[in-house]
Structure 1
Amino acid sequence: MTSRTHDIDDGWAWVVLAAVYSGQLLLSTAMYTAGVLYVEMLDYYQDDATKTSIIGSLNSGLLCLLGPLVSICINKLSCRVTIFTGGVCLMLAYLSSAFVSNINLLILSIGVLGGIGNALSSVPFTVVLVYYFERRRNIVLILSQAVIGIAMFLASPLALWLLDEYGLKGTFLIIAGFCAHLCVCAVICKPSVKEAKYKQYKYVFVAAIGLLTGLPNSLATPLTLTLVGVENISIAHGLVYFFCGIGFVSGPPLAALLLEGTGSYENSFFMSGAVLLFGSLMAVAAKIRLRKAQKERKKTNDESSGEEITTLFEKNQQ
């Protein structure tokens, strides 16, 4: 146990960090090819735009909506097993998609199975970092979001090049290969001493942090950690993803309906801007609420301290 304790912020933690960043890069790159693949699938299958958009909607939305279920998997099994299972699901999703002949089957493969794989892989990657780092935790978590940003930058040009060189079916096979490497990353993420400790407890956590997803993604995990502590991070992070999933699932179909109904992308952009504005207003309201609660707690603590001093003084007088 002593040797495993030394792996917090040191030793094996750095190997886990490399594995998590690599896994997040592969996973996010696969996820953010969705926009380019959507256009190609429209052209390849010649099906309804709204129906085709459901593939990306489920793929991204289930990532978030299944957050609470993934949290249970992490607590009952481990981060390693959960990530490994997600990698297998994603590999099978894209591998099977290379052999299907219509959009309905793609909704089941990339949409449903791929969405489940995204959820099982994405949530525990963040939780693993929380368990393996203490002193450097915030910087490690923020840099993990930077890795996702790099994937966003690379995904579209990579998808375009793959489609040009190998076609849609070949691209599915290559992405399946990317996802298979998540299993390797999972094997490296062995349970830390902290994860083994916290799995002994049952957690009860009800949070509205998911409503604050208008805040920068890089601050979401550190903020959640500050609010609930390390012992509740897996449940909390799962619920954050759940509330985000509501937007992921509803957004693409609504945008597609607006496009088909108006023949212009303008209304879709207006809708997106309204959602971002609402998220910003919620963030301001939460900040005001938090300051008020802090002032009330401070006032209560000051009154309690004053009463204790008075009581102690009276005892000394007697």
Structure 2
Amino acid sequence: MVQMNHKNIDQGWAYVVLTSSFFINVICYGIAWSTGVYTGIFLDVFHHPNSVTAWVVSSPAAIMYVTGPVASVLTNKYGFRPVIIVGAGLVSGGLCLCYFAHNLFVILFAFGVITGQLGPAFGTGLALVYIPAMAALSCYFDKRITLAAGISTSGVGVGILIYPPLIRWLINAYDWKQSFLILGAVSLNMCALGLLIRPVKSNEINQNQPLLDLSPFKKLGYIMVCVSIFLYCCGLSVLFIHVAYGEQMGIDPDKSALLISGLGIANLLGHLGYGAVAQHPRVNTFNLYSVSFFFVWRLYLPRSSI
């Protein structure tokens, strides 16, 4: 296990961990937020209503967030590396299982919930990879933690940028089922990325800290932030499944996939920019967060209600 000293904090191996966390975000969110590319295909192949099909393409991201606390508990108990490797295996297995699907509900079973001996959901697989990859940054960064988090989460934008056209290319070059096999194989790279995150010595962790610390929920400010993020994600999810709507409007499927890539560009620039701004010692991150949400609300407010 790695000894956490000045050689590991804000320098040295810390940047290897940051690189690993970045690419894990690329793969995780590339999968979770690009599933809308499959919406039109599922509608054409399985002939289910839009309301039913939407459950399939939105379930990976939804379950990833819902099962985040489970991933946190497992990370506290077993460490970063084993949880990431197990999660990557689940992600890959869930994707590959979609190759054998013959109806939409098998896709929902494989893409959303995998039971039996595997136990956790496919979305849980994403959470098992994402949560420890982000939590590891706090063990390797101190003064530059905000900037490191911004760089790591910019991988979200990169994933959303490159995965939609990649998925469309795979579908055109092969077919939609084989694209799942290839994405499953690509996801196994997260096992190697997880190996780069060296375990933290047990004496570096507060032994008196409970496995599941609920004390933050005693603070009203923390609860308000959690509620705001929850409501924000409820609305944000809709944007990533509008590819089928673009196709119904007569837009070429390959170009419709770029609608998601456009969101990825904005996400990438936002994470890098906010990470740099929030790093400044005179910037209050809570105020920055609040002002940003005000502008989001103002932009989406219907003109008729102003």
Does TM, normalized by the shorter one, top 0.5? yes
Is the 1:75–1:199 Cα contact (8 Å) retained in structure 2?
A: no
The offset of 1:125, in angstroms, is 1.5
> Which residue in the other structure is 2:190 paired with?
182
Counterparts of 1:41 and 1:99 in 2: how far apart (Å)?
A: 14
Q: 1:245 to 1:187 in 2, by over 3 A?
A: farther
Following TM superposition, by how much is the alpha carbon of 1:195 offset from its aligned partner in structure 2, in angstroms?
8.6
Tell me the residue number matched to 1:316: none
Q: Which residue of 2 aligns with 1:144?
A: 152
> Which residue is 2:228 aligned to?
212
Matched letter for residue 212 of structure 1 = S
Between Structure 1 and Structure 2, how many residues are aligned?
Answer: 235
Paired with 1:123 and 1:89, the residues of 2 have a C-alpha distance of 15
Structure 1 residues 84 and 71, CA gap change in structure 2 (3 angstroms): same
Tell me by how many angstroms 1:72 deviates.
Answer: 0.9
Aligned mates of 1:3, 1:194 — CA distance in 2: 10
Q: Does 1:75 align with 2:91?
A: no
**CA distance in structure 2 between the partners assigned to 1:148 and 1:42 by the alignment:** 27
**Residue 19 of structure 1 contacts residue 185 of structure 1 at CA under 8 Å; is this kept in 2?**
yes
Q: Write the mapping of 1:64-213 to structure 2, written as runs, cut at 5 A.
A: 64-112=65-113, 113-193=121-201, 196-198=204-206, 200-202=208-210, 203=213, 204-206=215-217, 207-208=222-223, 209-213=225-229
Given the superposition, is the C-alpha separation of residues 9 and 64 from structure 1 closer, same or farther in structure 2, using an over 3 Å criterion?
same
Q: Which residue of 2 aligns with 1:228?
A: none
How big is each residue's C-alpha offset from its partner over 1:68-91, in whole Å with a ceiling of 9 and x where there is no partner?
Answer: 221111111112222112101101
Q: Which amino acid aligns with 1:211?
A: V
Please report how far the alpha carbon of residue 47 of structure 1 lies from its aligned counterpart in structure 2 after TM superposition: 2.2
Matches of 1:9 and 1:135, distance apart in 2? 7
* Preserved contact between residue 35 and residue 58 of structure 2 (Cα < 8 Å): no
Q: Is the alpha carbon distance of 1:199 and 1:79 closer, same or farther for their aligned partners in structure 2, counting shifts above 3 Å?
A: farther
Specify the code of the residue in structure 1 equivalent to 2:4.
R
Amino acid in the other structure paired with 1:175? L
Q: Are 2:2 and 2:201, in contact at CA under 8 Å, matched by a contact in 1?
A: no
- Which residue type is aligned with residue 159 of structure 2? A
8 Å CA contact 1:89–1:117 kept in 2: the answer is: yes
Counterpart in the other structure of 2:234: 247
Greater CA drift, 173-182 or 107-116: 107-116
Structure 1 residues 48-57 or 173-182, which shifts more? Answer: 48-57
TM score, norm. by length of structure 2:
0.68
Question: Structure 2 regions of 5+ residues with no counterpart?
Answer: 114-120, 250-286, 295-306
For 2:98, give the aligned amino acid.
S
RMSD: 3.2
- The aligned residue for residue 297 of structure 2 is none
Q: CA deviation at 1:97?
A: 0.6
What residue in structure 2 maps to residue 291 of structure 1?
Answer: none
Identity in percent: 22
TM-score (norm 1): 0.65
Report the counterpart of residue 298 of structure 2 in structure 1.
Answer: none
**2:102 aligned partner, one-letter code:** S
CA contact (8 A) 1:98 1:172 kept: yes
Asked whether the 8 Å contact 2:96–2:184 carries over to 1, the reply is: yes
Change (3 A) 1:124 1:245: farther
Shift of 1:177: 0.9
Distance change in 2, residues 1:2/1:173 (3 Å): closer
Checking the alignment, whether the CA contact within 8 Å between 2:3 and 2:201 is kept in structure 1 is: no
> Highest Rg: 1 or 2?
1
5+ residue gaps, structure 1, are 214-242, 265-279, 288-318
Letter of the aligned partner of 2:85 in structure 1?
F
Partner of 1:4: 4
